């Protein structure tokens, strides 16, 4: 009997997404922030000061989305923002003291449980997981994507709309 690896992998991905989503909702409730806001705070903790474009690239969000996030974080007193002296079109953002305290206190999504489990693995196993996940990311982001359920031979640009 042939194993349905694609189905098993997709089910595992769904379970991972669900677990992350549930944990992120708990974090969001605890800190009264959305997960993208938490991620932006943590990134600013790492970088100290960033332009909106650099922050958007670092957290894999659109610049328009990050602009809205920054507006809300500014209103909560968690970040400061100022125009760049080199290029007035660019806005630089950094954490306030309140924002830095919050970013230092909060964990990364799934950090506690996942980090402990991952650290218990030997380096070769960690490298293997890293390599496989990078391959999955590449497969999921690489266009053209096959249109399920038609199969791998048909891509989205080959499907004609009904007349």
Mean of pLDDT over the chain: 82
pLDDT computed for residue 143 by the predictor: 62
Percent of the chain with pLDDT over 70: 83
Instruction: From residue 1, give the alpha-carbon distance in Å to each of 4, 138.
Output: 9, 29
Q: How confident is the model at residue 160 (pLDDT cuts 50, 70, 90)?
A: very low
Domain assignment present for 158: no
Domain region containing 95: 5-153
Terminal-to-terminal C-alpha distance of the chain: 41
Number of domains the chain is built from: 1
For the stretch 88-133, pLDDT in tens is: 788 899 999 999 999 888 876 566 678 788 889 999 999 999 999 8
Query: Taking a C-beta distance cutoff of 8 angstroms, is the pair 37, 72 a contact?
Result: yes
Whether 29 shows a pLDDT value over 60: the answer reads: yes
Q: How confident is the model at residue 161 (pLDDT cuts 50, 70, 90)?
A: very low
Q: How confident is the model at residue 31 (pLDDT cuts 50, 70, 90)?
A: confident
DSSP-assigned letter for residue 50: E
Q: What value does the mean pLDDT take over residues 50-72?
A: 93
The rounded distance, in Å, linking the Cα atoms of 5 and 116 is 28
Query: Taking a C-beta distance cutoff of 8 angstroms, is the pair 97, 39 a contact?
Result: no
Domain assignment present for 163: no
**Residue 46 exposed, middle or buried by CB count within 10 Å (0-12, 13-18, 19+):** exposed
Instruction: From residue 31, give the alpha-carbon distance in Å to each of 22, 121, 137.
Output: 15, 31, 29
Secondary structure class of 92 (helix, strand, coil): strand
CATH number, domain with residue 116: 1.10.10.10
Domain assignment present for 79: yes
Domain assignment present for 109: yes
Domain assignment present for 160: no
């Amino acid at each position: 009997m042939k194993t349905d690896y694609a189905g098993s992998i997709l089910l595992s991905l769904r379970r991972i997404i669900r677990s992350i989503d549930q944990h992120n909702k708990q974090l969001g409730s605890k800190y009264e922030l959305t997960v993208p806001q938490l991620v932006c705070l943590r990134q600013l903790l790492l970088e100290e000061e960033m332009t909106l474009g650099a922050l958007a690239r670092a957290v894999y969000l659109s610049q328009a989305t990050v602009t809205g996030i920054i507006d809300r974080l500014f209103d909560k007193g968690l970040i400061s923002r100022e125009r760049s002296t080199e290029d007035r079109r660019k806005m630089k953002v950094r954490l306030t003291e309140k924002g830095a305290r919050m970013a230092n206190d909060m964990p990364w999504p799934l950090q506690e449980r996942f980090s402990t489990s991952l650290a218990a693995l030997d380096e070769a196993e960690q490298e293997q997981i890293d390599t496989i996940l990078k391959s999955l990311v590449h497969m999921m982001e690489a266009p053209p994507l096959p249109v399920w359920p038609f199969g791998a031979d048909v891509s989205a640009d080959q499907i004609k709309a009904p007349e």
